[in-house]
Each structure stands twice: as C-alpha cells, then as structure tokens.
Amino acid sequence: MALCRAVWAPGAPGGHVKERGEYDTLEEAERAARVVLALLGAHLVGDVRAQLAARLPEAFALILLNPLQSAEPLPSERFVRATAAWIEGATEQTAAWDVSAVLSTVADAAGEELLGQILLQLPVGYDLLFGRPQPT
C-alpha cells in the first residue's frame, strides 16, 4: 500500500516516521512502524484501540487491530526490549530510537485526549516513549 502511505507522509498528522527516525529508506521506517504498532496493539483494548486505528493509514490500522499477543502489559523498558527482539540487527538503543520515532508520530495522530486514554491503558513510563512526559 505505497509503503503504508509513505510511512505517514509529510503533511499527514504527526509528520513523518522516516524523518523522526532519520531512517535511510522508507522500508526501514515501515519495518519499525509495523513492529511497534503490533506490540502497542497488544496493550490496547476496546474503543481506544479502534479510535487510534481510525487515525492511522489503513495498513497500519490493520496491524494495530491484529496485534502480536502479550500475556501481560509490558513495562516500557520491556516494550523496548521486545521491539529490539523483533527487528533484525536491532539493539536496545536502536529499538528505543525506533519506538520513539513511531510513538511520537502516533501521539500526534491521536491528539491529546485520545493519547490520555491510551496512556491510562499502559503501564507507567509510556508517556516518555510517546514523547509526552506527564506530570507525576
């Protein structure tokens, strides 16, 4: 699907995953987005997941709605480690970069109200992964 609408093409809500992640190719940006959204989808339920999916390009929405399975919500550090495990050649440091590029774009697409609902479904610490530190 045209590399998932050019991985949130410039001008799309939230900007561009490729630019935020400073990826060399759209394929790298799409790979990161697919993995991060599949893991995120396992942590979100109900209307929140459906509302977020409605704000994403169709191919990414389908990934979010058909996520990888998770027995329990992963703390933010384990989410990054899981991302590293799913991306060939990734380290925890590069996975943290991938997660940040994708989730900050997701946060922009979601808007503040929906992002607040998303964060309520996630363990403490995800606000930083989304690039939106919350007051403690």
pTM of the model: 0.88
Distance of CA 60 to the CA centre of its chain: 10
Count of alpha carbons within 13 angstroms of residue 48, beta-carbon side: 19
One digit per residue, pLDDT tens: the chain, 136 residues?
A: 444 454 455 544 334 788 899 888 888 999 999 999 999 999 999 999 999 999 999 999 999 999 877 778 899 999 999 999 999 999 999 999 999 999 999 999 999 999 999 999 999 999 999 999 987 6
**What sign for the dihedral angle of Cα 7, 100, 39, 134?**
negative
